[in-house]
Structure 1
């Protein structure tokens, strides 16, 4: 019979070393992991669905405020008002501002938006604004996530089907599961060699509908800006499919609105003054007309590639500086304009509400006729204001602060 196997001191030391190495490796993975660096607190019970207000308010009183530097416009997702500031995202009760769910990482937020009844939070790491997490609006539960190279600053713009992350040199389009359907601009040439139609371009502006993404870009060798129309979901996300790409007659252009068949582009440096040019889906100029924008309006055009808009059904209202331009939904022709606004409005009970100095003012969305003005105390804030609603609550994005108003 064989003698029982004995473990030598060397065997014991080796086994101990292996255990230590495994423990250290596990600790390193934990220290570096997203799980350790993330705090997620979900709602005790789902937030109720919001019921839109039946009529515009006759009075407005402050309800609550919260820091939200990461939202460009008020974000509302499935019953929650979503705020984002520093490294944390919160889902708040619209009436009280109480935090019902939260999500925090050890990274700085780039942007937060609402799409597909979820909050979409973009965080900055060594690859730019590349870490993306979606959170269910009603509960704060984590949904799809993704990570990919991005610029150091991005703007998020959605059309109900896709969400685009737009930087100055690169953009991506995602579907609701956060799978990338398109990358355009600066890419890793080792992974996608020669797939992009141009290189070294600066992306100036973008807007989309489910069937088409419209981009204004400035490219080396071009005499002016370029209008490029893209498929938002080509067969291969790394190989853009261009529907059309044409040089514009001047520089400084911005995309104002996009329909299923046309796009409206602001030409602030056109001969004779600012104009809106409408192009077909194949890049053919359809019409061009002057718009009543002041020098101060044009100076207010920032580096952000996305202009605030609100679709009313009859028109799409785009805010440029202190002027609202209403473009017809059928042909993108200018229907009306009004000066003295502070930002984009919102629809309530059939009326278009726009922020004005010390008030929220009603406009007829079809004609632009000015109605009553409801006073608002903004506590000394005089900068841009973007409106949205969460049921009966009116929301104002005042720079890095979100304010809620009730009637």
Structure 2
């Protein structure tokens, strides 16, 4: 005998169907997928070759906004910008869009990583958990290749390495491999799976961090510290799933009221820390301290375990400019103190030269170092740092007092600069 359904049964069934449909519409309406667009292009721009000579002249080609980068983000062939929720890959010759990825969220940071292998663009977006939503995009086409989410600070800086990238905020940091699997998390952890998985320090404020080989170095100040601390960690966990700590030492004495030192660069064997002299240094390994001497800005070099090796004075203020980053290539690393560009040996991290009157860090092209100056570019011999010539051009919209540092990178025979939230490209006249 067939089951008989009452009118109430039918009404309840209809109500369930309506609720399911409404729930589905609500989920779709608020889902990230609905508010995400990816415009891909079938046009492939050839990878930029290595320039054989530095052009005799350079002219402005185009500009674009990029508030999510601090230095130009360059894939093998394209210039990547991030602004107003959109990550755009642009033809370096024209600035025209090759591909575009958009979400209706704030784009916190953008990085072009692993150019020689995976050629990946990483885009970090903000939500209620901070800058926690990460999307990996293929550098040539913009195709999505991965995603991850985790707890994060409200602002983060991305830095690239050979095998990992670093995402650093003020209270925590993470490393990710090319598959976006997390190597370590360090600092503030809301719900630790293993409470003893990382060093037991609390209330730590992380002011700077860099990658070098299979390690990272950071400057932090924790609750029980009487000064600023240099900590060296492994980029991934040990066999017991714990954070590997290779060294952690307080490197300034007294209080931490003054501007902190800044770790500016790291190789597989050495660490460079800019110390503006706001706080007296701790004694070195031999027990010698120059705390009574006049404190000048310096680059302090540490080995990969965080043990101090030597110090070289440089021309700089008590604190580096807020917008700052180092740029490496062809055995040199450059960073800007606000008064001069310091050129480090990329292996030993020892300052080889400092060039006054510059506006930021630079990079080599055809065996010559290009540094930004007020009138354009200073072209220098990397072996002697003598100026070979200058390339003059105007920077439309640049204001030194407002924009500060100019970060200069090279893509083929073109120069890509960033100041403030502006990316500008220059190339040989046609």
Identify the TM-score tier after normalising by the shorter chain.
over 0.9
Question: How do 1:35-46 and structure 2 match up within 5 A?
Answer: 35-46=33-44
Say yes or no: does 1:132 pair with 2:134.
Answer: yes
Say yes or no: does 1:168 pair with 2:170.
Answer: yes
| Among 335, 339, 349, the residue aligned to 2:352 | 335
CA positional deviation for 1:119: 1.4
| Among 303, 310, 335, the residue aligned to 1:287 | 310
Residue pair 1:181, 1:236 contacting (<8 A) in 2 also: no
| Among 264, 272, 292, the residue aligned to 1:256 | 264
Q: Say if 1:300 and 1:328 are closer, same or farther in 2 by CA, change over 3 A.
A: closer
Following the alignment from structure 2 to structure 1, what is the Cα–Cα distance between the partners of residues 13 and 102? 39
Q: Secondary structure at the match of 1:56?
A: coil
Count of residues in correspondence between the two structures:
399
> Corresponding residue for 2:363?
346
Residue pair 1:389, 1:395 contacting (<8 A) in 2 also: yes
Q: Secondary structure at the match of 1:178?
A: coil
Say yes or no: does 1:320 pair with 2:337.
Answer: yes
| Among 42, 53, 56, the residue aligned to 1:55 | 53
| Among 66, 69, 76, the residue aligned to 1:68 | 66
Unaligned runs of at least 5 residues, structure 1: none
Say yes or no: does 1:310 pair with 2:328.
Answer: yes
CA positional deviation for 1:286: 1.4
Following the alignment from structure 1 to structure 2, what is the Cα–Cα distance between the partners of residues 65 and 282? 42
> Corresponding residue for 1:78?
76
Question: How do 1:5-404 and structure 2 match up within 5 A?
Answer: 5-116=3-114, 117-189=119-191, 191-197=193-199, 198-235=201-238, 239-249=242-252, 252-269=260-277, 270=280, 271-272=293-294, 273-293=296-316, 295=317, 298-302=318-322, 307-313=325-331, 315-383=332-400, 384-404=405-425
Q: Say if 1:380 and 1:97 are closer, same or farther in 2 by CA, change over 3 A.
A: closer
Following the alignment from structure 2 to structure 1, what is the Cα–Cα distance between the partners of residues 276 and 396? 33
TM-score (structure 1 length as normaliser)? 0.93
Residue pair 1:224, 1:247 contacting (<8 A) in 2 also: yes
CA positional deviation for 1:194: 4.2
Unaligned runs of at least 5 residues, structure 2: 281-292
Residue pair 2:135, 2:148 contacting (<8 A) in 1 also: yes
Q: Say if 1:236 and 1:114 are closer, same or farther in 2 by CA, change over 3 A.
A: farther
TM-score (structure 2 length as normaliser)? 0.88
Following the alignment from structure 2 to structure 1, what is the Cα–Cα distance between the partners of residues 245 and 336? 28
Q: Say if 1:237 and 1:386 are closer, same or farther in 2 by CA, change over 3 A.
A: farther
CA positional deviation for 1:7: 4.1
Residue pair 1:47, 1:78 contacting (<8 A) in 2 also: no
Q: Say if 1:151 and 1:24 are closer, same or farther in 2 by CA, change over 3 A.
A: same
Q: Say if 1:347 and 1:131 are closer, same or farther in 2 by CA, change over 3 A.
A: same
Superposed CA deviations along residues 151-178 of structure 1, whole A, max 9, x for unmatched, are: 1111111112111011111111111111
